[in-house]
Amino acid sequence: MNRIQVFLQKNSPLILTCIGSIGVVTTSVLAVKATPKALGLIKDAEYENDKKLTKFEIVKVAWKPYIPAILSGVTTIVCIFGSNYLNVKSQKALISAYAVLDNSYKQYREKTKELYGEDADEKVMQKIAEDNMDETLLPVEDEVLFFDFQGLRWFTSTIHKVMQAECILLEELRNTGTASLNSYYGALGLPEVDYGDKIGWTSLEANDVYGYDDLQFNYVKSTTKDGKEYYTIYTTIEPTSDYLDFCFGLESYPPIV
């Protein structure tokens, strides 16, 4: 595959969108230019027949000047729908790729625990936390440093507020059967993230797949190399991208109570 083919394959949605945008303007211009010609044809036809034309007769007489505008409009519509189709196809491919990686990651963590124990898993999380350390965060008053393993995100908060956020999320799970990562961040008082509504948890997965009565939060206390204490937050079930699929079956699968 040469460079031109690669470029077209990667940028085809954008190219079609640009063509569609140009097509909207072009169609409007062509329609405006065709209107005087069409009016002239109608006037000539009325003069020859010495009567007012009906709507059907007007269309029959005046349609030809609009052929370029019609062709431009059809091309524009095809480009817009084509761009949307390619975007949807691309999103589905990305979701599938994420699902494969997500499954591989979960299997890797489970095998790590199985072969080397919980301590090894926690040490890996501690190393990941320190590699992503945000040196600008400075806890004040009763605040503590926290590292959210789900979003690889450092933040400061009080232990009371973090425990309260956990209760809010678990209550949402019990009442609706699903909860997104952004729901958790909202309960913590943190800004939402772009992908936060795309991934989340389900009470069904906790119960049917893993055998838990509820989603469980774990807090691992650690110390950085420079002596800062922090807690790594992780859940017994990782948030997944297919959690919204369960929404369509909530009537058949009631939430855990």
> Which segment of 139-148, 186-195, 196-205 scores lowest on mean pLDDT?
196-205
pLDDT for the residue 144: 92
pLDDT for the residue 251: 40
Give percent of the chain with pLDDT exceeding 90.
14
**CB contact at 8 A, 219 and 233:** yes
In the predicted model, is pLDDT for residue 211 greater than 80?
no
pLDDT for the residue 210: 54
Structure-model confidence comparison of residues 8 and 90, the more confident one: 90
Q: Is 165 exposed, middle or buried (0-12, 13-18, 19+ CB in 10 A)?
A: buried
pLDDT for the residue 7: 59
In the predicted model, is pLDDT for residue 176 greater than 90?
no
> Which segment of 10-19, 28-37, 191-200 scores lowest on mean pLDDT?
10-19
In angstroms, the CA 243 to CA 245 distance is 5
Q: Which of 68-77, 113-122, 136-145, 184-193 has the highest mean pLDDT?
A: 184-193
pLDDT for the residue 185: 94
> Which segment of 117-131, 136-150, 220-234 scores lowest on mean pLDDT?
117-131
Q: Could you read off the pLDDT of 229-257 as tens digits, one per residue?
A: 899 998 888 787 767 765 554 443 333 33
> Which residue type does 2 have?
N
In angstroms, the CA 144 to CA 184 distance is 18
In the predicted model, is pLDDT for residue 141 greater than 60?
yes
**CB contact at 8 A, 231 and 218:** no
SS3 10: helix
- The backbone torsions φ and ψ at residue 57, rounded to the nearest 5 degrees and listed phi first, read -65, -35
> Which residue type does 9 have?
Q
Q: What is the largest CA-CA distance in the chain?
A: 98
Q: Could you read off the pLDDT of 72-109 as tens digits, one per residue?
A: 888 888 888 777 776 766 666 555 555 555 555 666 66
Element (H, E) at 160: helix 159-176
What is the chain's mean pLDDT, rounded?
A: 77
Average pLDDT over residues 162-168: 94
pTM higher than 0.75: no
Average pLDDT over residues 150-157: 89
pLDDT for the residue 191: 92
Structure-model confidence comparison of residues 52 and 166, the more confident one: 166
